[in-house]
Every structure is written in C-alpha cells, then in structure tokens.
Structure 1
Amino acid sequence: MRVAFLTATEGIEQVELTQPWQAVIDAGGNPQLVSTEPGRVQAFNHLDKADTFPVDLVVSQASAEDFDGLVLPGGVANPDALRTNAEAVAFVQSFFDAGKPVAAICHAPWTLVEADRVRGRTMTSWPSLRTDLRNAGATWVDEAVQVCTAGPNTLVTSRKPDDLPVFCKTFLTEFNR
C-alpha cells in the first residue's frame, strides 16, 4: 500500500504526521511525503517548532494514480497554506475523482472544503471547523472518528491528536479495502 501524505512546507502538527506515517509502515505500507516545495517541511508541536522531514515528491509532479490513499495531517497553518495552493487542491480533488480513500485529521478538512469535496458528507474535525464544514455542505459530528462512504470514495476524519489511535486503525482498514 502506497500512501501520500500531503503537507505544506510548514505548520504541520508533528504527531498528526508521524503517528499515521508509522502506522502505514507498521502495516507494511510505503508512506510518501508530498509537499508544495522540495526540500524539508517544518513540523510543530502546537505552536513550537519541532522536527523537519524530507519531501519525497513535489505535488506538481505527483499523481493520485501512483497512490492507494491520501492522508492529510492537521496543524492550523498547514491546511490553511494548502488550500491556497491550486496544485495541492487539485491533487486532493484527484483522489476523490479516482474514488480513492482520503483521511484527514484536526484542521486538515479545511483543504477538503477548498477542494469542494465535503458537500453531502458526514465528517468530524477540530471543533472550530464545524461552521466551515456545515457552510460547505457537510454534516458535522463530534466523534473520535467518522467514516463516510456517501460519495465517490471513503472519507475518514478525526478531531484531534487524542483520536490518533482510532484514526490510524480506521484509515488503514479503509485503505486496505
């Protein structure tokens, strides 16, 4: 299983990248870090700089055809930057168009809103996104993990770092279907 992890160049919540990444490796998969620029991305532990991670592929050269699923880590700045990058938004849209599963945690659904892929979906997120998701046509629920199959693909969403164990278990199950 080859899984794309899409991030901006900075502002990624580190644990929301590293725990799902490790879960993919532990399941025998191949995670690939896709970003808007080459080099390294800067992760954060909430508001404090944390580690950097090497980019495997620039989004302008990436294709959903090469992956089995997409994971969108959160952090406030990460999805905010992604949603203003046309290539990143198109990359996200391409997973939905191809019927491939997508998993998003915390603030990551902001990118899904920009990609116009939440309408008619039931999903969760960090609570402050509730109104944004409802305004974009989603039904928002306050649950640790939500699996929505209404649409062309499976969408797995979670609220926050505390939900990572169930988020990882659930998206791996869905990605392996």
Structure 2
Amino acid sequence: MSKLTGKRVAILASNGFEESELLEPLRALRDNGAEVDVVSPEQGQIQGMRHFDKGDTVAVDQAVAEADASDYDALVIPGGLFNPDALRADEHAIRFTRSFFEAGKPVGAICHGPWVLADAGVVGDRELTSVPNIQRDLQNAGARWVDREVVVDQGLVTSRTPDDLPAFCSKLVEEIAEGRHKGQERSA
C-alpha cells in the first residue's frame, strides 16, 4: 500500500501558477497513492507558466466557491507570481485555505504561495520560508521567516523556489501521511 492511499488532496491554483510547482507535487502525491483535485476560482483549464513564459494548462476539477475543506486531507498552494496574487484576492480561496488550518490538516505552499496564507491570517507565529521577495509581507503578517530549502511547522510545509521541489514534495508526502497535527488547530 502506498503512503497516501485513501488520502484526498486539494491543489489550490489559478491562472499563472508556476508549472513545476503544481505538476511536481501533483505527480508526487499521485505516485504515493493520493487522490488529487485541482481546485480553482476558474473553470475548465488554468494556464501554467514557466517563469515568464506560458507553460502547460491543467484541468480544474472543483470550483473553490463550492469546495469544502472537510472533503480533503491536505492542501497544496503552488507559487508563481500571478497565481497566489489572484488567489489572495478571492474570498472563497481564503475561506478554503483557512479551513485547513482550523481543522489541523497539513498544508504545503511554495514560492509566492505563502502570500495566500498571509491573507488567510494563518501565518502568525509560525516558522516558514518562501521566495525571498515576499519575506517582508510574511513577517508583517506575523511569520518567522527563514531562508531554508524546506521548513515544516506543525503540518505547514513551505519552500522557496522550484529548485527546492524535491525536498518540498518529500516533506509534503510525509506530513500528509501523518495526518492531522495536534497544536496546528487555531482560529483565524
């Protein structure tokens, strides 16, 4: 049996996601037995980016306005510049994200992805990392920002860039396999 058999994971993304930061965790999760849905404010297909160039599109499985965190065991938020900026302005994406923290479920965010966490009000007093240029935003939201390949804080897995994807995916699978994290639950 695979590590994540029976687990269901949501990847929250919109147009402009960094292609590798969605596709590599998606592959790692599925390779370990998880069922994975792409959840988005958009419908149909969303456009990936390879830095500043258009990349592959990905099919949306579930509208975030209709998604319920109780249907999932974990959440992943890929980066890219445009994706998290759009998500953090979407009230349904913020509600959906906050629900995972309230339930103590594992969450992974990479690159600019932690921007969504800051707007959801869930980074206060947590250690995390991100792409360096949003460090100040995360610190202003109460996070303890560190410059490391991967950081795990009570089920929250964060990484900086696509270069960190191997470590990010490995820790993500590990945290999701563990399940809920005592002490992670907190109201936003």
> How does the TM-score come out when normalised to structure 1?
0.96
Query: Which segments of 5 or more consecutive residues in structure 2 lack a partner in the other structure?
Result: 1-6, 179-188
**Structure 1 position 4 matched with structure 2 position 10:** yes
Residue equivalent to 2:165: 164
Query: Which segments of 5 or more consecutive residues in structure 1 lack a partner in the other structure?
Result: none
**Whole-angstrom distance in 2 between the partners of 1:145 and 1:53:** 25
Residue equivalent to 1:29: 34
**Structure 1 position 59 matched with structure 2 position 64:** yes
2:164 is matched by which residue type in structure 1?
Answer: D
**Whole-angstrom distance in 1 between the partners of 2:56 and 2:172:** 24
**Structure 1 position 20 matched with structure 2 position 25:** yes
Residue equivalent to 2:73: 68
> CA deviation digits over 1:116-142, x for unaligned, max 9?
100000000000011111111000000
**Whole-angstrom distance in 2 between the partners of 1:132 and 1:59:** 24
SS in 2 for 1:74: coil
Residue equivalent to 2:127: 122
> CA deviation digits over 1:95-124, x for unaligned, max 9?
011111100000000000000100000000
1:11 is matched by which residue type in structure 2?
Answer: G
- 1:94 corresponds to which of 93, 99, 102: 99
Residue equivalent to 2:144: 139
**Whole-angstrom distance in 1 between the partners of 2:114 and 2:106:** 14
Instruction: Tell me by how many angstroms 1:37 deviates.
Output: 2.0
Instruction: Tell me by how many angstroms 1:79 deviates.
Output: 0.3
Identity, in percent, stands at 51
CA RMSD, Structure 1 to Structure 2 (Å):
0.6
Runs of 4+ in 1 over 2 A off after TM superposition: none
**Whole-angstrom distance in 2 between the partners of 1:76 and 1:38:** 20
